[in-house]
Amino acid sequence: MTPARLTGRRQGWTRRLAPIVQGLLLVSGLALLGGMVWHVGLAGLRTSLHAIGPWLLPFLLLDSVSLWLHVVAWAACFHPGAPPVSLWHLSLVRLAGSAVNWITPTASLGGEVAKVWLLEATLPRVQATAAVVIDKASMTLAQLVYLVGGMLCVARAFPLPAAVRWSVTSSMGVITVGLVGFLLCQRYGVLSRGLQRLSAWPRAQATCQHWSRRLAPLEAHLGSFYTAYPRRFVRSVLAHSLAFLFDAVQTYILLTLLLGDQAPGLANALMVAVVVAALEQMCFFVSGSLGTLEAIRFTVLSTLGVAPAYGMAFALVARLHNVFWNGLGLVAYALCTSRMPRHL
């Protein structure tokens, strides 16, 4: 069998296998969610959700603060010489990208591609791609600092099981190595240089030269940004960090609304937020985090001795929050695409 036919057969198997895997994950998520609701019971769940009552919508709208901080952080990632993009438009594009990430198991990459495409109506592709790539690095760095710092505090205050410590530590280690490599590739143009060297191999010469020419302008733009405007990158990291901290404060507010005087203190609530964020990094492959979103929150609160009904209510409010904002993201996607030129 020729290499071309073998490659074609492998791609065919991959296309057929992907929906099967996604279907199994969907069924597993639904089964997990249904099992947790059955374990808690509808009566107890109704009673616990009644505690938040009229505060649900104001709580959901609190996330607009985090959105604004993330957008301000992204605005700092644009080259000062690029055409200005309004914060309102960046907010719509960010919401749209988050919605794409939510409905597709692409490890947060599908939404980044969507952001570039939506920005092409106002910016050249190289500048739009550079802004998205720089913001991705900035946000990942801020999230890594937030998670590592939080997990160190958690490890000192609470004796976590060895399996949990190993899983979180290894996950953070992989993210750190990947982030450092990602930043070095941006700053020093490692990819295009590597492709230029690989082009000396006759079988890959045309492909490597093609991608090297495509990547060179982008890497030049990235390198000039990091060299000339390092303070803008630091400003972006700080704004993203504040957004993650505010997310933790939202966890404290939600637990207070649900549990009242029996709610854990601010330190414990921050611990819950950090552990939840760390565990969610390991479940990126599940579309919409179906089942995993609820299971992670339910399990973490159970370790603090919170009653199962309130743990499940906490998880379901988080699901409503997820649906509410990603629903707005789908609306934002429709608005952005309706305003784009027909030729894009």
- For residues 203 and 30, the model is more confident at 203
Yes or no: say if 87 and 71 are a contact pair by the CB < 8 Å rule.
yes
Of the candidates 31, 28, 27, which has an alpha carbon nearest to the alpha carbon of residue 39?
A: 31
Yes or no: say if 32 and 286 are a contact pair by the CB < 8 Å rule.
no
Region 259-268: mean pLDDT is 80
195-204, 263-272, 276-285, 324-333: least confident range? 195-204
Residues in the chain: 344
Residue 95: per-residue pLDDT: 94
Say if residue 194's pLDDT is above 50: yes
**Band of residue 241 on the pLDDT scale cut at 50, 70, 90:** very high
Of the candidates 77, 188, 71, which has an alpha carbon nearest to the alpha carbon of residue 135?
A: 77
Say if residue 197's pLDDT is above 60: no
Residue 315: per-residue pLDDT: 81
% the chain with pLDDT above 70: 65
52-66, 192-206, 214-228, 316-330: least confident range? 192-206
- What does the block give as tokens for 247? 């997310």
pLDDT in tens, 33-58: 455 555 555 555 566 567 677 888 88
pTM: 0.77
Residue 43: per-residue pLDDT: 53
